[in-house]
Amino acid sequence: MPRALSSLLVTLAIAALVAGCGGGSGGGGSSSASSSSKADTSTVVTAGTAIPAGCKRVGDPGARQEETHEKRPPARLASTSASVVMQTTCGSFTISLAVRQAPKTAASFATLAKRGFYDRLTFHRVATDPSGGPFVIQGGDPLGNGLGGPGYSVREKPPANLHYTKYTVAMAKTASEPSGTSGSQFFVVTAADAGLSPQYALVGKVTSGQDVVDRISKMPTSDNEQPIVPIVIDKATLQGGR
C-alpha cells in the first residue's frame, strides 16, 4: 500500500465506514431522534464560512418521511458495461461500475440510480484521517444520518486482492454485517489508499469528474463529520446496463 496506517487509523476508518447501515430502512428511537435534529437545522446554511469554489450553498433536503421498501434488484445487469453520473451541488462525476468483478453490487447500485433513489439525497459524511488528510466521502442514505437504506441488502464478497485506493467506490456496512453486505450507502475513497481490509462491497471507480470528488472532500465539516453546507445529489443517471 502507498502508506502504512497505524492501528488507530484503521480503527477510526472502520468505525467511520460502518456507521452507515447497509440494508436497514432506518426506524427506531435513534433514527427518529437524528431525523428530528436534522429537520430542525435543515434551513441553516452557515453563510459566514468559506466553502470550496464550485460548490453551491443550498438548504438540506431533509430525511425522506416515508419508510423505504425498494424491490430487490436483479442479480446482474444485462450489459457488461455501465456507469452512473452523479450530478451534485459541487459538480458532476461519473462512476464506472465493476459489472464483471461485482455483478450483484453493480446491479443493485445501477437499479437504485435508475429508480431515482439517489436523487435529492446527500453526502452526509466527509471524513478525514487522524492527521487531517482526506479519507472518504459517504452518501446514499435516505435518512441522511447514517442509519438509512433501501429496505433490502445484497451480499457479495469483494475481490480478496481489492485495495481501496483513491476514487474507488464501495458500499458501507455495519460492523455486525458479513463481509460484502450492502444497501444503498456508498463511499468514495479520497485518500491515496484508505488501508481498509477487503470487506466492503466493490461498486466501481470514479473515471471522470475526479476534481469534483476532491472538491467535496474539502468541504468544512462539523465535529461529527457532517458538511456545514449540504452536498446534495441532484440526480443520479444510469448510462448503459439496461
Label residue 77 left, alpha or beta by phi (over 0 means left) and psi (-120 to 50 means alpha): beta
Main-chain phi, psi angles of 135, to 5 degrees: -130, -75
Tell me which residue range forms the domain holding 190.
Answer: 7-43+53-63+77-240
Query: What is this structure's pTM?
Result: 0.85
In this prediction, residue 198 has a pLDDT band, given cuts at 50, 70 and 90, of very high
Domain assignment present for 82: yes
The number of distinct structural domains making up the chain is 1
Domain assignment present for 224: yes
Nearest by Cα to 126 from 211, 226, 45, 53: 226
Look up the CATH number of the domain holding residue 119. 2.40.100.10
Domain assignment present for 2: no
Domain assignment present for 70: no
Domain assignment present for 32: yes
> At 108, which amino acid appears?
S
Domain assignment present for 71: no
Domain assignment present for 178: yes
Report how far residue 146's alpha carbon sits from residue 107's, in angstroms, rounded to the nearest whole number.
Answer: 22
Nearest by Cα to 139 from 167, 115, 164, 169: 169
Pairing, β 181-182 against β 154-155 = antiparallel
In this prediction, residue 173 has a pLDDT band, given cuts at 50, 70 and 90, of very high
In this prediction, residue 141 has a pLDDT band, given cuts at 50, 70 and 90, of very high
> At 242, which amino acid appears?
R
Domain assignment present for 68: no
Nearest by Cα to 121 from 100, 104, 137: 137
Looking at the chain, the whole-number percentage of residues with pLDDT higher than 90 is 77
In this prediction, residue 66 has a pLDDT band, given cuts at 50, 70 and 90, of confident
User: Any bridge partners for residue 136, and if so which?
Assistant: 127, 189
Read off the C-alpha cell for 61.
433536503
Q: pLDDT digit string (tens) for 74-132?
A: 999 999 999 999 999 999 999 999 999 999 999 999 999 999 999 999 999 999 999 99
